[in-house]
Amino acid sequence: MASSWQKQNQELKDARYELLAMTADRRGNLTTSWLDPAGGNHVFSNLKVSDGRFPSLAAALPEIAWDEREIHDLFGWIPMGHPDLRPLIRTPRWRQDFFPMMSPGQAATWLDVEPDLPARKVEGEGVTIMKVGPTHAGIIESGHFVFSLIGENILHLDAHLFQNHRGAEALLEEKPLQQVAPLVTRVCAADTVSNQANWALAVEQLAGFKQSPQLVHQRIILLEAERVLSHLNDLAQIPAGVGFQVAHQRALAMKELWQSSLKTLFGHRFLFDTVRPGWASSAPSDALLADLSELRSLWIPWRQLVSGHHGFIDRMQGVGATSLNQVMRLGAQGVAARAAGKEFDARQLLPWYSELFRGPLIQSSGDVQGRFRVRLDELEASLQMIEQAALELSRTNLQEQRFIPPVTLSGRVVTFTESPHGMNVHDVALEDGRVVRYHMRSATYRNWPLLAQAVAGNTVADFPLINKSFELCYSCTDR
Amino acid sequence: MAKSIKTLQIRHVDAGSCNGCEQELTALTSRDYDMQRYGLDIVASPRHADALLVTGPVTDTMALPLEKVWGAIAAPKVRIAFGDCAIGCGVFQQSYTSHGGLIDSDLEIPGCPPEPGPALAALRDWMGSHSRGKSAYLELGPVEIN
Ligand code: SF4
């Protein structure tokens, strides 16, 4: 059994399938779901945990290493042969016998010890250790980084995340359908529409609901509006990383403009609660188009400013470089992967995007500049898609589609969308109109290990710049 | 003397936020809201701060670091809960990692996330209606150096 599980998954990886998710449930069922990058078909591989153990896939498939550590922490199943089974989410403050996913609803009792876990460091002459976090000097999400340095250069980065772990998946269990969206919305502010859409798609697919072209266009507008917002934020942070304040402040001003548009048009500055099963928030097309052109009038000179500033470009080139090989090996996703030449964007596999999406935008350098440029191009493509979808909507008469999901809805489905950070996956199982298992796998989860590799060999002073060019959210990784 | 606080230097700690509250806090420092002009700023060290501002439901992993930061701020000092999660009415309240928000806060700024305009107004209102307490240094009296 063991070998066939390993063999099957290895074959899928070798055939360049994309890993959607590895999901465990309380009854000991393990499922890996893979996506065929050619046709979008899902392939599932299943295994039953026996004796609390299962054969690890991590040695052959490094992108699964974190998933298996997570399963170990939350369920207690042991991945046999895992190369690095340190706790990922678990902290020394949890009781040894506390496995939160085994008995949801159970309150934790915390032991009176420090939450920190032992770090992996480099030892030797001249090596110094620098610890940063979990609290930071600016307004940043919490994360704990242990750098091994030689002089100014980073030898190794051990990132200890999951300070923001809120146990969202356990909270979702047993929830009736109508209580899911508010929570899914708030897992991550940067990828909220993508998360909301995944939930909506899951319910619609299980209920056999067919989205009208209008609903599809409304959703594409929201998903792309979120990408514009998130890319503006990230594009603002990269110049900040090298002290290019003019570009930073002007990008923040564009972001503010866009957020106030979103508030007026859709009711929320981050688009919280704008997508539900069978529904999406919509705005009058002419108002949307007017706001779009106002944003463009700031965007065009800003793009010229950052593209023509040689000092800025010099500071980005060759910094935090990753190779396509590393990207493929670690199963990296999104902007970070496309910046190194991986031609993959989940939108290409979503049939409802087919009219508007023109294909992945890639670079080859894999460095800070590559990631910066992918975002520049993607933002412009998103503005175009919003425009086209808005024009499309203005030509049709809006008809509300009525959809009330059956109260006894049951089944299991894996849905995905391309969030601003990459392919975002939800694995949803329902029974009689209640959630029995909800697993969320954000793109950034796969990209953190790549970031650790990208910083090695760079000076420690460049870490903020490299980190900002990846702009991996913590909250949807930690959940 | 009229009650008011002229400046408030803030140290921010994320204790399990979804990053929405952080982004709105960042907006307060941008040129559109420019909170520095009202004597408000985010500072890099608790040693420079008068206030601790917390976002998120206070996850267990952040509970101790949070209190350490609080301990490193010199009195007089205040605790600010920013957003519904930190106030204790967010969606992650019941989670197995949640301490249920910030306890003993002096100022609560509601919203999910609080919008920058109202948040700035709340901070300024609070500053306008409070005076600084006695500093720990004054309470200690003169220090003998030998
Ligand atoms: S209050 Fe809302 S925006 Fe703030 S951290 Fe909580 S869920 Fe996120």
In order of A164, A196, A373, the CA distances from A279 in angstroms are 30, 11, 34
Beta bridge partners of A439: A427
Residues B123, B16, A458: CA angle, nearest 5 degrees: 105
- Per-domain residue ranges of chain A: 4-114, 116-162, 168-478
Q: Which residue on chain A is closest to B56 by alpha carbon?
A: A164
On the question of pLDDT at A191 being above 90, the answer is: yes
- Residues in Cβ contact with B12 at an 8 Å cutoff, skipping those fewer than 6 apart: A138, A139, B22, B25, B42, B53, B54, B55
Average pLDDT for A63-73: 91
Which among B131, B73, B78 is positioned nearest to B105, based on CA atoms? B78
Tell whether ligand 1 has an atom less than 6 A from the beta carbon of residue B122.
no
How many angstroms is it from B94 CA to the middle of ligand 1?
14
Residues of B in contact with A167 (CB under 8 A): 92, 95-98
Least confident of A286-295, A459-468, B45-54: A459-468
What integer pLDDT is reported at residue A61 of this predicted model?
87
Tell whether ligand 1 has an atom less than 6 A from the beta carbon of residue B89.
no
CATH code of the domain occupying B8-129: 3.40.50.12280
Determine which helix (DSSP H) or strand (DSSP E) holds A7, and give its type and residue range: helix A2-14
- Give the global pTM: 0.89
Location of structure tokens 């899928």: A12
* Residue A75 at interface with chain B, using a CB cutoff of 8 Å: no
On the question of pLDDT at A60 being above 90, the answer is: no
| Residue identifier of the C-alpha nearest atom 3 of ligand 1 | B113
Pairing of strands A275-276, A411-419: unpaired
- Are A121 and A129 spatial neighbours (Cβ–Cβ below 8 Å)? yes
Min CA distance, A473 vs chain B (Å)? 8
| Residue identifier of the C-alpha nearest atom 6 of ligand 1 | B85
CATH code of the domain occupying A4-114: 3.30.460.80
* Per-window interface: A 305-334 vs B, CB < 8 A: none
CA distance A471 to A233: 9
Average pLDDT for A3-21: 87
CA distance A189 to B96: 21
What integer pLDDT is reported at residue B54 of this predicted model?
94
Which among B133, B131, B137 is positioned nearest to B6, based on CA atoms? B131
pLDDT, tens digit (0-9, with 9 covering 90-100), for A300-315: 999 999 998 888 998 8
Q: Is the dihedral of CA A465, A470, A476, A479 positive or negative?
A: negative
pLDDT, tens digit (0-9, with 9 covering 90-100), for A346-375: 998 888 888 888 878 888 888 999 999 999
- CA of residue A339 relative to chain centroid, distance: 16
CA distance A84 to A59: 9
Which among A363, A347, A343 is positioned nearest to A420, based on CA atoms? A347
Determine which helix (DSSP H) or strand (DSSP E) holds A233, and give its type and residue range: helix A213-240
Half-sphere exposure in the Cβ direction for A141 (13 Å, CA): 28
Q: Which residues does B contribute to its contact with A (CB < 8 Å)?
A: 12-27, 29-32, 42, 44-45, 56-57, 59-62, 64-66, 69, 90-92, 94-98, 112-113, 115
Ligand 1 atom with the shortest distance to the CA of B83: 1
On the question of pLDDT at B114 being above 80, the answer is: yes
Tell whether ligand 1 has an atom less than 6 A from the beta carbon of residue B81.
no
Give the pLDDT band of residue B38 (cuts 50, 70, 90): very high
pLDDT, tens digit (0-9, with 9 covering 90-100), for A266-291: 999 999 999 999 999 988 899 999 99
Give the pLDDT band of residue A139 (cuts 50, 70, 90): confident
* Residue A384 at interface with chain B, using a CB cutoff of 8 Å: no
Tell whether ligand 1 has an atom less than 6 A from the beta carbon of residue B112.
yes
On the question of pLDDT at A128 being above 60, the answer is: yes
What integer pLDDT is reported at residue A1 of this predicted model?
46
Tell whether ligand 1 has an atom less than 6 A from the beta carbon of residue B85.
yes
Tokens representing residue A56 in the block? 């690890």
Task: Give DSSP secondary structure letters for chain B.
Answer: -----S-EEEEEEESS--SHHHHHHHHHHSTTT-GGGGTEEE-S-GGG-SEEEEESS-BHHHHHHHHHHHHHSPSS-EEEEESHHHHT-STTTT-TTB--S-SS-SEEE-SSSPPHHHHHHHHHHHHHT------HHHHH-SPP--
Least confident of A129-133, A423-427, B37-41, B78-82: A129-133
How many angstroms is it from A57 CA to the middle of ligand 1?
36
On the question of pLDDT at A261 being above 60, the answer is: yes
- Per-domain residue ranges of chain B: 8-129
Q: Mean pLDDT of all residues in chain B?
A: 86
Tokens representing residue B103 in the block? 């306890």
Cβ–Cβ below 8 Å for B18 and A162 = no
CA distance A379 to A4: 43
Residues of A in contact with B30 (CB under 8 A): 249, 252-253, 256
How many angstroms is it from B56 CA to the middle of ligand 1?
6
pLDDT above 90 as % of chain A: 42
Pairs from A113-118 (Cβ < 8 Å, separation ≥ 24) = A114/B64, A115/A91, A115/B60, A115/B61, A115/B64, A115/B65, A116/A91, A116/A92, A116/A144, A116/A160, A117/A86, A117/A87, A117/A91, A117/A92, A117/A160, A118/A86
Q: Is the dihedral of CA A343, A345, A351, A355 positive or negative?
A: negative
pLDDT above 70 as % of chain A: 99
Give the pLDDT band of residue B136 (cuts 50, 70, 90): low
pLDDT, tens digit (0-9, with 9 covering 90-100), for A86-117: 898 888 888 888 888 888 777 778 888 887 77
ipTM value for the complex: 0.85
SS in 3 state form for A271-339? CCCCEECCEECCCCHHHHHHHHHHHHHHHHHHHHHHHCCHHHHHHHCCCCCCCHHHHHHHCCCHHHHHC
On the question of pLDDT at B137 being above 80, the answer is: no
Q: Mean pLDDT of all residues in chain A?
A: 89
What integer pLDDT is reported at residue B75 of this predicted model?
84
How many angstroms is it from A188 CA to the middle of ligand 1?
9
Half-sphere exposure in the Cβ direction for B58 (13 Å, CA): 21
Helix A65-75 to helix A443-455 angle, to the nearest 10 degrees? 120
Residue ranges in A93-167 assigned as alpha helix (H): none
CA distance A113 to A120: 20
Residue with the bigger pLDDT between A144 and B87: it is: B87
DSSP three-state, residue A214: helix
Residues of B in contact with A268 (CB under 8 A): none
Tell whether ligand 1 has an atom less than 6 A from the beta carbon of residue B59.
no
In order of A138, A271, B40, the CA distances from A221 in angstroms are 32, 11, 37
Which DSSP letter does residue A154 get?
E
The distance between the two most distant Cα atoms of chain B, rounded to a whole number of Å, is: 55
Cβ–Cβ below 8 Å for A270 and B90 = no
Give the pLDDT band of residue B35 (cuts 50, 70, 90): very high
What integer pLDDT is reported at residue A95 of this predicted model?
85
Residues of B in contact with A271 (CB under 8 A): none
Q: Would you identify the CATH topology of the domain A168-478?
A: Cytochrome-c3 Hydrogenase; chain B (1.10.645)
Average pLDDT for B104-121: 93
Beta bridge partners of A438: A428
CA distance A307 to B19: 29
Residues of B in contact with A142 (CB under 8 A): 13-16, 62, 65
On the question of pLDDT at A57 being above 60, the answer is: yes
On the question of pLDDT at A201 being above 90, the answer is: yes
Give the pLDDT band of residue B144 (cuts 50, 70, 90): low
